[in-house]
Amino acid sequence: MRLSAIFTSLALPLVSLAIPVSEYILHARDIGQLEPGTTPVLSQQAAFSGDITKCQGYNVDNTQTSDSGGLLIYLTLINKCSAYGTDIKSLTVSVEYETESRLHVHMYDNDLKQYQVPQYVLPRPGGSSSCNKDKSNLKFEYNQDPFEFWITRKEDNAVLFDTRQNNIPTYKESTQIQGNYSNYTVLPSHPLIFEDQYLQLSSALPKDANIFGLGEVIASTGYIRNSSATVQTFWARDVGDPVDENMYGVHPMYMEVRWDEKRNKLMSHGVFLLNSNGMDVILRDGVIEYRAIGGTFDFYFFSGPSPNDVAAQYAQAVGLPQVMPEWSFGFHLCRWGYTSVVDTRSTVTRMREAGIPLEVQWNDIDWMRAYREFQFDQNYAPDDYRAFVDELHSMNQHYIPIIDAAIGYLYNDSDVFDVYSRGHELDVWMKNPDGTEYVGAVWPGFTVFPDWFNPKMQQVWTEAFYNLSQVVDFDGIWLDMNEPSSFVDGSATNSTIPIEDTSVVPPNYTPQAPPTDYPEGYFPNVSGPSGNVTVDGQLTYGQNGTAPKNTALRRSFATEIAFEARDSSSPPDLPANNPDIPYVDEPPYPIRNQAGRLSAKTVSPNATHYGGLQEYNVHNLWGTMEEIHMHDTLLDLKPGKRPFMVARSTFAGIGRKTAHWLGDNYSTFAYMKRSIQGVLQFNLFGIPMVGPDTCGFNGNTDEELCNRWMQLSAFFPFYRNHNTKLALSQEPYNWDSVRNASIKAINARYALLPYWQTLFAKAAGYGEPPVIPLFHEFQNPSYLTIDSQFLIGPSILVTPVLQPNESSVYGIFPNANGVFWVDWWTHTKVDNSKKDNISISLPLGEIGVHVRSGSVLLLYDQPEYTVKETRDGGYSIQVVLDGKGYAEGDAKIDDGETYPVNELTCLTFVASENCLTSTPNGNYNIDNKLKRIVIVGVWNKPSVASLNGKTIDTSQVKYDEKVGKVTITNVGGDLNQGWTLKWE
């Protein structure tokens, strides 16, 4: 309170001075509403009523055909509205049939003063000259008075998006979110509203709609969204993985899936709103409503009709994901708390001594002097640091350091920081409205923030990393805190108060003691003082009888299981003008930012970028802009090599530049389960290289949890173990059972690397997601709620144990059209012929991995310690014949590192009638040989086998009659040539 009073007296009208976040009471605007209410969201500004019921929308004035054959519709406001902003009286609606599956509907102000995302940030896909409304799978129709439109898919005549008010239910009473009633869920009417600081549009949905997407979010309902009580806020926020709240990334895209009784199949479509301003999207039964505090309504509609089609069509629109370096699929290890080069080297050594493959070693902010980017801590002296990274490279391993978003500020005339000074010289740091540098506070103390819209920012950034690379030959970069995060609310200084006179004291966020909580389910009378829930490999979770089960598992699926148990790089293009926004810090409509004010724990929305552009419009783009610059920097520093970075804050389309980790999660079984929905979500968003902090970041993990999680994450695209400072160590060598489980899972992962590379090549080529839920492949509406299992491509089904103290699990093994599944480890067939819900035994250290019948997989023959050594060992092929003796598959092979990919060979495999063929097509020469072929589903022992007509020696052929498996060794095959294997 004392600081708040001081700042009130000193604040200038145009500059918000900072207050520590710890002094500002952060709260959700809904908390404490224990009874339902009828009050909509109140306006924060007295000039605006907040009453949308008085708004009547727009009329059509005129229409004309666009140059590309689409439609232009001109609208005029019917009556004064002024709900949460100043009315915009004249609008244009542009309708473009860009491809057969994509329709672009953009509603914008005629004066073009509303902010629009630049092409530099998200290049628009454009349209096909051959496509028109007759060839499109989608049909646009509208009413004139008032203007309303609806989108129909021609294939099934389904209305996919419908803004006609008569078809949309209203809700005059609030409903609950996380136990509290939210006035954001009051939806009294549905007019089209287009104001300078408030845009509103609603569309009808089916009852109990199946909605996926609208992230980044950890949804309490799992991967599927709650269609009757969701408020998804889009305002990038530094926060430790909350449930049902806004967090790091902004992806205003959703996929809806409907069961078509007539066609007996799932029909899917997608909707993407390209808008970078703060926004709420509300779901109540029968309606989705958009509420943005700026920008335009720039919609893209995707016709599907399969879920994979929708994901691919979306990725094609926002940008196909970057192909990843092969080494990035290895196992990564990090923690906050490796306080020196000695500590970090010791970890690498212990991993090798334990025999646990380690591909990439990371360092958190410990390497920085006083947490200041680009300066070395005394325990990371340049010579020692350089030698350590060189050692990693000599052992075919890789290295990644962290870089936080904010740059340390000079405290006094004697302070020296070259990166800050260079940026100050070129004037590239974000500004206060009065033109002084905006100063927040992050780990280094006082900080400035890069202005990514400044054309000179790339020069400063590349110089800084070039200088760093002269000491640390990093292979990739970890971008953290780039929402951007700031530990104070507002700027600490301005034109009248220099930093020497500021009253702001940056809070000390450095942990002073270890986390006090025991690991989840810990009972010291059984487990002793070790901190390990599991003792000598025995499960002891909750033996005091009070520890919770994993409540993140979906209730409906748990009920189903119980029943079955009884029964079975150029400068940015800036907008032409940047008009002042009247209410930047507290807009009339207060989006449901769970941190409170828009400026809480981030840069204030009144901060300015190059050309006068306000943070208000581009806050959600800050992280993406950094990632674009970082991508260009990596290309400059390592030309011809695939850039690799992992970033926290993301925006639509940035999968073309970066990977993502799921943020600061917790060491609990619930968060292990929630990591699955996060991976599925980002694969839908076109950012497929994604994974969690394995074993959990916050809090203390334990042996059982880390055992299960290390195995689960081995089957996610991005695989990193990372935890917080001073928590219990969770490197996998700390427990024998975790060590053994990790080695087993990593060996399987490394064998599957050619399959992973193939899936990512397809994602980079046309957008198909590598990791998918079951309903993407199998037409069953009961699978829509399943996110306790997932598929890697079409052929690998992963079934983890997600509950503590359990050694078996029920899983869905789809059996449509005679599909069956073969255990990865034993090649034993799962009997799913009578039902698809099967119990499998998975004691500690085991995870369910099954191969789909009819699949042919190219694998690495012998997993080794590193990816390079594994690759050098050559290939094998695994075939799982279906009930008719047929299987097929493909593989895309390149050198795993060159960017862009100019040399690529695709292998096509077909097995039929006791014959397996391989057909190559491409220009990449595959150096390593085919060593082994395994065929499962051969139920009569072959008397002879031949390759290209030449009989194979019987000593090379082994047969296992229990699983019907033929193994042929010492093949020595050249994958660059076509070949035929026969057995009889």
SS (H, E, C) 641-699: ECCCEEECCCECCHHHCCEEECCCCECCHHHHHHHHHHHHHHHHCCCCCEECEECCCEC
Cα–Cα distance, 171 to 157 (Å, whole number): 28
What pLDDT score was predicted for residue 544? 59
What pLDDT score was predicted for residue 25? 39
Cα 67 versus chain centre, distance = 37
Cα–Cα distance, 764 to 752 (Å, whole number): 18
Buried b (16+ CB within 10 A) or exposed e, 208-223: ebbbbbbbbbbbbbbb
What pLDDT score was predicted for residue 547? 65
CB-based contact 532:543 (threshold 8 Å): no
**To 5 degrees, how large is the angle CA 192–CA 195–CA 197?**
125
Cα–Cα distance, 461 to 630 (Å, whole number): 8
What pLDDT score was predicted for residue 577? 57
Active site residues: 480, 483, 664
What pLDDT score was predicted for residue 522? 76
Name the stretches of the chain with pLDDT < 50. 1-16, 21-28, 555-572
CA distance readout (Å), 752 to 136, 676, 792, 862: 39, 19, 10, 11
Cα–Cα distance, 712 to 699 (Å, whole number): 19
Task: Identify the CA nearest to 41 among candidates 296, 294, 297, 291.
Answer: 291
* Peptide bond preceding 146 in cis form (omega within 30 of 0): yes
What is the token pair recorded at 281?
């999207």
What pLDDT score was predicted for residue 923? 98
What pLDDT score was predicted for residue 561? 32
Task: Identify the CA nearest to 561 among candidates 834, 841, 849, 811.
Answer: 811
What pLDDT score was predicted for residue 226? 97
Residues written for the chain: 984
What pLDDT score was predicted for residue 550? 86
Phi first, then psi: give them for residue 809, nearest 5 degrees. -150, 145
What pLDDT score was predicted for residue 2? 29
Q: How large is the greatest C-alpha to C-alpha distance in the chain, in angstroms?
A: 93
What is the residue-wise DSSP string for 389-412?
HHHHHHTT-EEEEEEESSEEPP-S
What is the token pair recorded at 42?
């109140």
Cα–Cα distance, 160 to 260 (Å, whole number): 13
- 787: exposed, middle or buried (C-beta count within 10 Å: 0-12, 13-18, 19+)? buried
Characterize the bridge pairing of strands 368-369 and 360-363: unpaired
CB-based contact 250:273 (threshold 8 Å): no
pTM of the model: 0.95
Phi first, then psi: give them for residue 694, nearest 5 degrees. -65, 135
Give percent of the chain above pLDDT 70. Answer: 92
CB neighbour list of residue 603: distance below 8 Å, 6 or more residues apart: 430, 438, 440, 449, 484, 486, 615, 619, 622
What pLDDT score was predicted for residue 499? 87
Buried b (16+ CB within 10 A) or exposed e, 229-262: bbbbbbbbbbbebbebbbbbbbbbbbbbbbbeee
What pLDDT score was predicted for residue 23? 42
Name the β-bridge partners of 798: 790, 849
Neighbours of 759 (CB within 10 A): 24
Residue that has been written with the tokens 């950034």 in this structure? 461
Cα–Cα distance, 57 to 579 (Å, whole number): 24
Cα 13 versus chain centre, distance = 39
What pLDDT score was predicted for residue 564? 34
Residue that has been written with the tokens 């028109």 in this structure? 132
